[in-house]
Amino acid sequence: MKPADLSKVAITDGYWKKRADINRTVTLITEYNQLKDTGRLDTFKQLWKEGMPNEPHFFWDSDVAKWIEACAYSLVSFPDKKTEEMVDAVIDDIERAQWEDGYLNSYYTVKDKTARWTNLLIMHELYCAGHLMEAAVAYFQATGKDRLLNIMCRYADHINSVFGPEKGKLRGYPGHEEIELALVKLYNATGKEEYLRLSEYFVTERGRQPSYFDAELERTPGIKRYNRDKGTTMPYAYVQAHAPVTDQETIEGHSVRALYFLSGVADVAAITGRNDLLEACEKLYANMTQKRMYITGGVGDTPDIERFSYDYNLPNETAYAETCAAIASVFFCSRMLNITGNGKYGDTMELALHNGIMSGISLDGTEFFYSNPLAVEAKAVLEETLEFHSHMGYKRRKWFGCACCPPNIARLLSSLGSYFYSTDGRDIRVNLYGSSEFLHEGIKLSQTTDYPWDETVKILFSCETPSESMISLRIPGWCEKHEITINGGACAAEYSNGFAQIKRIWHDGDEITLFFHMPVVKMQAHPNVRHDTGKLALMRGPVVYCLEEEDNGKHLAALFIQPADNFDVVYDNEFLGGCAYLSGRAFRLSESGYEERLYKPFSAEYEEAGIKAIPYAMWSNRNPGDMLVWINAMTTPE
């Protein structure tokens, strides 16, 4: 199926409307100011000289590109002359920065014009090119202006003249993937087959032996091969180049790169019909979700080079779970959902959206997390560790030296409506739930709901004349019991791959009502996840909950919950911007008997305590303090 045309979707109310409005009115201008103040925008003016402040970095072009893309998606639904003028001014500078042969990279233009295409493993030329291509396609689709699109077609033509299997070309591919999916977008926008072929080349050449990266090092001895200055060679699994994707058994390396890459693999598989590529995507998805993903939908467990490490290694306090990685997971899963029609991909997409992604931005839209840990002891985290990535942060920051996440979350929120629905002819599939409207071929669906806080979703069907079509409704994997009615009566639905399919002749005013039973569920991790042994996490619907010091005092690790205890669900429209929190009881280990002692003979003594759990996505929006997702379970073996 095809994703919904963004111009045909409106998010009308509820949780996602609040988040999208803040993104449009606050985050986009906040990020523009940061891009300006840190020198990223001005780098395209080519005025920087050695010794000047704001020395350019090799990934800066991508930060600017993602912001342009975010603005473009916003302009689809909310035309705004000022925003358009800001973007057009940036495009002016980009156009002037392009080389005569089509090459375009601000870092090499001002830092070292002789070194382009010499260090693909580390430097981000192709990665930045990909993000600029995505921005160009989005801006063209939003405004009809093709100047940036033409600029990027010239660049893509140049790249196509440099790379490929043909004689005289470099058989290289990017160290940081992304251009693969971008070239497919460029192909879809222009119809130029060479862009699709180049994407397929990058996808299938990666990991072949002998390694291009080995040849690159032999050709240019002494080039920087590792981006942490440890004097070691970058492991090729880190960039998913240890084997062709069809031979890979586990998802490896830098988590953002891996999922951008798989998004491109899925795109190529969908268009070319290559089942070997699709099977590779399915295999690596299974490994990720069954053995290497946090309960929040976050991925990438190890701060050391931001990577997947090994099965079941999911530490909480040092979890990297980069915001960008969760966003990349949504990109990948949305593609797989449309290709296969399997609702499990929608479940993973929803989990990341409601938890591992939205934790990455403050409720006011001005501060961000780069990484998203699942446990924090604030006193153990020193501010001096936050200079670059803040991988152990307990407080969001306004910007980062590596600022990939802020504009990434902005472009996702600006384009969110396109993930809600998919189409195939007149058939419509509802992938995500939230108050929204979707117009498709004379049919309008109107969702009304306060999901994920409320259990009821109403979908009103509008059409001028009766229309036969299939409406498919994703039944979330977390939902063990649900009801569907049409106009208050029984509904005959068929179920397939996690979707309830209703095919009938629809009349104007028909209304579907879904009721998802949403109890508070105590979740436990696989026994091999040693970090969570003997612990439980609280979920309600797609939302993961956590404890914060603000509500529960310090030393959260001393709290225990009885699995049989019930929790009250309390909706408060004023609390944290409006959400449902959980209220219940726990037992805190007593500190008595430790007088001037650090240890004593074991004798568990507990004091009953009331606890309050809030949505994980909303933590760290009040006073900085401790936080915990996995809570001790008070159990007695049978």
Whether 491 is catalytic is no
* Half-sphere exposure for 367 (CA within 13 Å, toward CB): 14
Cα four-point dihedral sign 589, 594, 596, 601? negative
**Residues 452, 15 contacting (CB under 8 angstroms):** yes
134 in catalytic set: no
212's tokens: 């291009």
Burial class (CB in 10 A: 0-12, 13-18, 19+), 414: buried
Among 180, 200, 306, 455, the active-site one is: 306
Beta bridge partners of 509: none
* Whole-angstrom distance, CA of residue 508 vs CA of residue 511: 9
As given in the structure block, the two tokens for residue 192 are 């130029």
Amino acid identity, position 294: Y
What stretch of H or E contains 429? strand 427-430
DSSP, res 578: S
Q: Which amino acid is at 125?
A: E
Q: Which residues contact 382 (CB under 8 A, 6 or more apart)?
A: none
H/E segment holding residue 90: helix 81-97
Spatial separation of the C-alpha atoms in residues 133 and 144, rounded to whole Å? 15
Q: Alpha helices, DSSP H only, in 531-573?
A: 549-552
- Number of neighbouring beta carbons within 10 Å of residue 530: 12
As to burial, measured by CB atoms within 10 angstroms (0-12 exposed, 13-18 middle, 19+ buried), residue 277 is buried
Give the three-class secondary structure for 70: helix
Question: Which parts of 296-402 fold into alpha helices (H)?
Answer: 323-340, 343-351
- Strand 579-589 and strand 568-572: pairing? antiparallel
In 3D, which of 392, 226, 268 has the Cα closest to residue 321? 392
Residues in the chain: 638
Phi-psi group of 365: left, alpha or beta (phi > 0 → left; psi -120 to 50 → alpha; rest → beta): left
Query: What secondary structure letter does DSSP report for 214?
Result: H
Q: What is the largest CA-CA distance in the chain?
A: 81
Cβ neighbours around 382 below 10 Å, total: 8
User: Of 404, 405, 479, 579, which is the active-site residue?
Assistant: 404
Separation between Cα atoms, residue 398 and residue 564, nearest integer Å:
42
- Cα–Cα distance measured from residue 193 to residue 185, given in angstroms and rounded to the nearest whole number: 12
Cβ atoms of 542 and 531 closer than 8 Å: no
Stretch (H or E) spanning 511: strand 511-516
Q: How far is CA 324 from CA 2, 257, 258, 370, in A?
A: 24, 10, 11, 8
CA dihedral 104, 107, 111, 114 (to 10 degrees): -40
Burial of residue 558, with CB atoms counted within 10 A of its CB: 0-12 exposed, 13-18 middle, 19 or more buried: middle
* Cβ atoms < 10 Å from Cβ of 248: 18
Residues marked active site are found at 306, 404
